[in-house]
Amino acid sequence: MLSPKLPGPLLRYYGAQALSPVAERFYGRRWTPATSSNLSLRVDDHRALVTASGGHKRFLTGDALMLMALDGTVLDGAEGAKPSAEAALHLALYARDAAIGAVLHAHAPSTVIWTERHPRAPAVELAGAELLKAFPGVPTHEVHQALPVVPNSQDMREIDRAVVAAQGSLPGAPPAYLIRGHGAYVWGASLFDAERHMEALVSLLDHALSLPSSEASP
């Protein structure tokens, strides 16, 4: 747990200590190729640490993080560091839900390939899998959940509006969404929870893609 009273450089240092093992695991699974993806942690009700633009996630240090207000204002960062455009998607989630403690964005191949194979699907239909119990509030595999899929855009406000609309039309969706042709966003009350949700999501999509087309989700 990060202490909100720490100065910005120390928050970035300890944030990197928390995030770097997750970043290394994601890189090892080829979920964060090159300088793609973004990871973040909530600091308090008004601030979050978000990975800066252009940094390689395999080598995550305090200089790779930016302390940002939830309105997008940069509060602290290494000299020359710039916030990723996608920081806005992280900050929007924190602003909407005070229970979110971490947000992770990755480009695992199955999170991209599924949307390309189902170009008109507004959601991934998830049902009957034990791994669904990795998501909060799911006590049994005998459930049906719809994971939102939203269009990609260079305008983060447009993506976020699509996310809000999709979540409103899909009550009970897991804490995640896919951006078509791009990757996945997941979140959780803690970093541990968010990582678990990403692992479960990728595994479910890997399985769906391994099935004959007649058995896979639409």
pLDDT digits (tens, 9 = 90+) for 132-183: 999 998 888 878 889 999 999 999 999 999 999 999 998 889 999 999 999 9
Could you tell me the pLDDT band of residue 213, with boundaries at 50, 70 and 90? low
Identify whether the C-beta of residue 186 lies closer than 8 Å to the C-beta of residue 173: no
Q: How far from 20 is each of 49, 109, 127, 156, 189, CA to CA, in Å?
A: 13, 21, 33, 25, 18
> Nearest 5°: CA angle at 105, between 139 and 83?
145
Is residue 217 pLDDT above 80, yes or no?
Answer: no
Q: What is the pLDDT of residue 17?
A: 96
CA–CA dist 78, 9 (Å, integer)? 8
34 has pLDDT over 60: yes
Average pLDDT over residues 58-65: 91
Per-residue pLDDT at 153: 97
Percent of the chain with pLDDT over 90: 80
215: pLDDT strictly greater than 90: no
38: pLDDT strictly greater than 90: yes
Name the band, by pLDDT with cuts 50, 70 and 90, for residue 1. Answer: low
Mean pLDDT of the chain: 93
* CATH C-level class of 8-210: alpha beta
What does the block give as tokens for 77? 């960062």
pLDDT over 70, % of the chain: 97
Q: What are the distances in angstroms from CA 32 to CA 1, 3, 37, 181? A: 25, 28, 6, 15
Q: Using 50, 70 and 90 to split pLDDT, how confident is the model at 58?
A: confident
Q: Cα(146)–Cα(177) distance, rounded to whole angstroms? A: 10
Looking at per-residue pLDDT, the higher value among 170 and 89 belongs to 89
